[in-house]
Amino acid sequence: MLLYIRILGESLSFALNALRNNKLRTFLSLLGVTIGIFSIIAVLAAVDSLDKNIRSQLSALDSNTMYLSRISFAPTNVPRWKRQSFDEVSYNEYKYLKSSLEGAEHVAYQLFARAESIRYESEVVSNVNTVVVSHEFADIQTLEFSKGRFYSESESNSGKPVVVIGDEIANSLFGEFEPLGKKVRIYGQKFTVIGVVKKEGSGLFGESNDVSMFLPANFVRNRYGDNNKLMTHVVIIKPRSGADIDELKADITQILRTRRGLKPDEIDTFFISVISGLQDAIDGIISTMNFIGWMISLFSLLVGGFGIANIMFVSVKERTNLIGIQKSLGAKNKFILFQFLFEAIILALVGGIVGLIFVWLGTVAVNGIVEDFEFVLSIQNILLGSFIASVIGLISGVIPALSASRLDPVEAIRTGM
């Protein structure tokens, strides 16, 4: 056992000396591996960070929350021309579903509306994300408030001109002043501010609540009617705890098909999109991005591997005489083998570590520039990068090392002379 440890130690010492004595060659060999490891770990870290931030955004909603609309939030086989002929989900259908669905805890109505401006005296904030919803929305998305409250059922049903605003909107309009009770102008009409949503950070799906304002759906319906082509009507359904999701989905489908008078051979003229299905779609996209990242980075790793192999063959050629002398003095084949394998693995490992350092510096820079998005370099990716670098070094060095270990000592000395 001690003999093998001694052989490994001496082989490692020979390898380090060889690398120190050929600095330019070592640098060029490192460069290929550094670029390869940087490419693959940077891609994996970016995808992991995106995945983490997406899941953080989705965590505000129950994964079983359903969106009923004439549009699908997930890929569908229904042709576009058919989808365009579907009717919007009506307010009356929302009211009927709310009273009929036993498996639903909350049912809310939403109009996807365009961004609007909000004004307070001389201060104006343009292109504000306008969330037009019924009062149940606050229970479905679990909104938290730094000040005030969400509008009540009576305010929602009557379409009272009240508004709840995000943290950044409140700061832009009122600064240090108290926003509650203030009159702001939206749609050219005065609204009373009754609540400020707690600061949450940027959103990946649409705008963050920080830069949003919430208006009663019935106010917008009363102003623009139910046939406005610029708005999409959605019913949001949050199932009761423990409810059978498939059964609830079937109930919604049956109720809506009956109300719309659809025949058995006719397709549904609506879509029920479930958050968990959206998560599955996101998982598929993340997997595809990871695969593409691996394929792109593979070429960089191949270049780095070929570079190490080439340098190792050159190193064997240059040290043929030394190899012959070592073997004539009693050096075993395994000693020569380990010597060149260590050299290749050390080259790859150092290159990999440098690549990881560059990725880490990149994460620090991105996190310093981009607010509310956390770029993460995980321990798993660090270990993966080190492992890949070691494997690249091992594969690149094994053939040159084998050829060196099998040299005949007499021929090696003669060739070197």
User: In this structure, is residue 275 part of a structural domain?
Assistant: no
- Mean pLDDT of the region 306-311: 72
Structural domain ending residue among the three candidates 269, 292, 319: 269
Residue 165 has pLDDT above 70, yes or no: yes
Structural domain ending residue among the three candidates 269, 299, 323: 269
- Mean pLDDT of the region 182-198: 91
Q: Is the pTM of this model over 0.95?
A: no
Whether residues 187 and 47 fall in one domain:
no
Residue 55 has pLDDT above 70, yes or no: no
Whether residues 179 and 264 fall in one domain:
yes
Lowest mean pLDDT: which of 7-16, 268-277, 387-396? 7-16
Please state, in angstroms and as integers, the Cα–Cα distance from residue 166 to each residue in 46, 55, 112, 132, 263, following that order.
29, 21, 17, 14, 45
Residue 216 has pLDDT above 90, yes or no: yes
Residue 227 burial (10 A CB sphere; 0-12, 13-18, 19+): exposed
Residue of higher predicted confidence among 159 and 331: 159
Whether residues 108 and 256 fall in one domain:
yes
Lowest mean pLDDT: which of 28-32, 226-230, 243-247? 28-32
Please give the residue range of the domain that contains residue 147.
Answer: 87-269
- Percent of the chain past pLDDT 70, that is, above it, reads 73
Residue of higher predicted confidence among 323 and 372: 323
> Confidence class of residue 394 from pLDDT cuts 50, 70 and 90?
confident
Mean pLDDT over each residue of the chain, to the nearest integer: 78
Whether residues 233 and 376 fall in one domain:
no
User: In this structure, is residue 394 part of a structural domain?
Assistant: yes
Whether residues 307 and 346 fall in one domain:
yes
Q: What is the largest CA-CA distance in the chain?
A: 101
Residue 268 has pLDDT above 50, yes or no: yes
CA distance 70 to 234: 8
In the beta sheet, which residues pair with residue 68? 235, 272
Tokens of 71: 């549009």
Residue 204 has pLDDT above 50, yes or no: no
Residue 8 has pLDDT above 60, yes or no: no
Residue of higher predicted confidence among 329 and 352: 352
Lowest mean pLDDT: which of 49-63, 139-153, 157-171, 273-287? 49-63
User: In this structure, is residue 129 part of a structural domain?
Assistant: yes
CA distance 37 to 308: 14
Whether residues 140 and 217 fall in one domain:
yes
> Confidence class of residue 191 from pLDDT cuts 50, 70 and 90?
very high
Whether residues 125 and 9 fall in one domain:
no
> Confidence class of residue 149 from pLDDT cuts 50, 70 and 90?
very high
> Confidence class of residue 160 from pLDDT cuts 50, 70 and 90?
very high
Residue of higher predicted confidence among 10 and 27: 27
In this predicted structure, what is the pLDDT of residue 133?
A: 93
Domain count of the chain?
2
In this predicted structure, what is the pLDDT of residue 29?
A: 66
Structural domain ending residue among the three candidates 240, 269, 298: 269
Whether residues 130 and 26 fall in one domain:
no
Whether residues 109 and 215 fall in one domain:
yes
In this predicted structure, what is the pLDDT of residue 264?
A: 85
Contact, 39 vs 352, CB < 8 A?
Answer: no
Residue 402 has pLDDT above 80, yes or no: no
Whether residues 218 and 93 fall in one domain:
yes
User: In this structure, is residue 254 part of a structural domain?
Assistant: yes
